[in-house]
Structure 1
Amino acid sequence: MVEPESLKSLEDLARENGRYPVDAYNFVREGLKYTVQKLHQANQTDQHITGRDLCLGLRDLAIKRWGLLAGLVLKHWNIQGTMDFGRIVFAMVDAGWMAKRDEDRIDDFLDIYDFRTTFNQDLTLEPESKKQ
């Protein structure tokens, strides 16, 4: 990992990448913490998680945080599939915000789940019928 004083800010990273807003990077960082806490004990020395683990944790956190709006929030941030999570993670790894093992690959994030099904993006809200 890069020394803290030489880290790019997430704002700079988002601006340079141009694909995702800083909120998406912050969400992935929060999702990493959420997933590690969910899967590992605090005193456990090895707290590594896989790309699949992180995608599932991000799904759970998004639904917990935004409920039925989770898919819309992620879409607003240009996150349309689990590979987008991988792109954000590897940009953060390259910038020193996260660490990876030699065996970790961006393909670990490929098609972990279908966003449309997972976040019910076909869901339509019906207006309440007028009471008479």
Structure 2
Amino acid sequence: MDTAGVLTGIRKGNPRYTEAAYLFLLSALQRRLSSLELPRHISGAEVADAVRELALERFGPLARTVLEHWGVHGTTDIGEIVFALVECGVLIKQPDDSREDFEGLFSFDEAFEDSYPWSA
């Protein structure tokens, strides 16, 4: 099955998130994995942090708006996207990985507004 077919299947089972949300998460994950000296498992917190970093880099002060437009309103949503990708075989998980690993990691208010490096 091609990428479009996989994404269509994922979105049928979990239509809350746009195709862009899934692709963006995969981009953030690839970027984080590429930055490692040696390949290893990435924790839920590391995935969420990678999404935050890439969103700020690509979208600046509009990062939160873009993510929310895609259906991503918090770190729990990042976990739901990860596990949708696991369930369709795009990603793999370790036995101790769970959706709860993504709960309450950071607030979008803090990450994208309060801590944004505004400059005059």
TM-score (norm. length: structure 1): 0.79
Equivalent in 9, 22, 31 of residue 6 of structure 2: 9
Structure (1 or 2) with the greater helix fraction: 2
Shift of 1:83: 0.5
| 1:11-49 Cα shifts (integer Å, max 9, x gaps) | 3312331110110000111111011123x12xx2x4210
1:105 and 1:6 map into 2 onto residues whose CA distance is: 27
- Residue 81 of structure 2 corresponds to 88
Q: Is 2:45 aligned against 1:52?
A: yes
Bigger Rg over Cα: 1
Equivalent in 69, 72, 81 of residue 65 of structure 2: 72
- Residue 24 of structure 1 corresponds to 21
2:50 and 2:13 map into 1 onto residues whose CA distance is: 26
User: What residue ranges of structure 1 are gaps of 5+ in the alignment?
Assistant: 124-132
Q: Is 2:96 aligned against 1:103?
A: yes
- Residue 62 of structure 1 corresponds to 55
SS of equivalent to 2:58? helix
TM-score (norm. length: structure 2): 0.87
Percent identity of the aligned residues? 33
| 1:51-98 Cα shifts (integer Å, max 9, x gaps) | 001111110000001000100000101111000000000000000010
Alignment: residue pair count = 114
SS of equivalent to 2:46? helix
Whether the 8 Å contact between 1:82 and 1:113 is mirrored in structure 2 is yes
